[in-house]
Structure 1
Amino acid sequence: MKIACYPGSFDPITNGHLDIIKRASKMFDEVIVTIMVNPKKKVTFDQQERKEMIEKCTKDLPNVKVVVGEGLTVDFATKLNATALIRGIRAVADYEYELQQATANMMLNDHIETLFFVARPEFSFLSSSVAKEIAFNGGDISKFIPEAINDYVMKKFK
């Protein structure tokens, strides 16, 4: 069974994240979306809220599950029996950062490959931070986050 781990903060999940999840779900027997706990990162939604939002958005993808992880991503992926880490690339800056992370992970565990999914052009600018900034200022986020969680996210900022 080929298992991929897609780690991130997903605060909240965006249409770009969801696109990558859908694309990865066609390539792997199981995709485990992993909400990684990062004490240095200030988040808007707690772990349970993020988990519920992702589950709501991926309910039609039977080979996708959502978990919360902590520690080194590559170690957590090993516990999940994953053979691949999925990462999204939007721009050159993402690639530089992701290359460093992938190389470090390779040094820690050379049995797990990192696969880069290039963002579709319509999502190449999109991040959770952009979506939250628009929501915070009362803007329309319907083009940025999945419809299934739009109202929930907007309520958080009212």
Structure 2
Amino acid sequence: MRICLFPGTFDPITLGHVDIINRSLDLFDKLYIGIGRNANKAPMFSEDERLDWIKEIYKDEPRVDALVYEGLTAECCKRIGASYILRGIRYVSDFEYEKAIADMNRSLDPSVETIFLTCLPQYTSVASTLVRDVIRNGGDVTQFLPAEVLRSIQNPV
């Protein structure tokens, strides 16, 4: 079985993330979207919110599941039986950064292969960091976020 982990903070999950996930589904039998806890980042949205968004977006797709993990991505891969890590690439500079991480993960576990997918041109500038800035400043993020996320942030409980 081809099991893959797509790690990130997904704070929030964007249409760029959804594009990468959807285009990867034919490559894997199971895709785990891993919300990584990053001690260096203070998230805007809670882990529960991010997990709920992903589960809602993919509620009708049995090949997709989501989890929260802490620590090394290579260790998370071992826990879930993943042989692949999925990463999205927007710019050449992303590749340089992501390749260094892929090389480190390969050093930690040579059985895990990193797969890079480039995003579609319309999502090149969609980054969670930028989307958070637009949200903080009251801007319209409709074109960047899935409907499930928009509903949640526009109608907080």
Q: TM-score, normalised by structure 2?
A: 0.95
1:54 match: 54
Q: Percent identity?
A: 37
Once the two structures are TM-superposed, the CA of residue 155 in structure 1 deviates from its matched residue by: 4.8
- AA at the equivalent of 1:8: G
CA distance in 1, matches of 2:48, 2:97: 27
Q: Alpha-carbon deviations, 1:27-78, whole Å to 9, x = none?
A: 1110000001111111011111110011111223221000011110011111
State the Cα RMSD in Å: 1.1
Does the alignment pair 1:92 with 2:92?
A: yes
CA distance in 2, matches of 1:141, 1:102: 31
Unaligned runs of at least 5 residues, structure 1: none
2:20 match: 20
Alignment of 1:9-158 (within 5 A): 9-155=9-155
CA distance in 2, matches of 1:136, 1:143: 16
Once the two structures are TM-superposed, the CA of residue 20 in structure 1 deviates from its matched residue by: 0.9
Unaligned runs of at least 5 residues, structure 2: none
Once the two structures are TM-superposed, the CA of residue 110 in structure 1 deviates from its matched residue by: 0.6
Does the alignment pair 1:7 with 2:7?
A: yes
Once the two structures are TM-superposed, the CA of residue 151 in structure 1 deviates from its matched residue by: 2.6
CA distance in 2, matches of 1:21, 1:143: 18
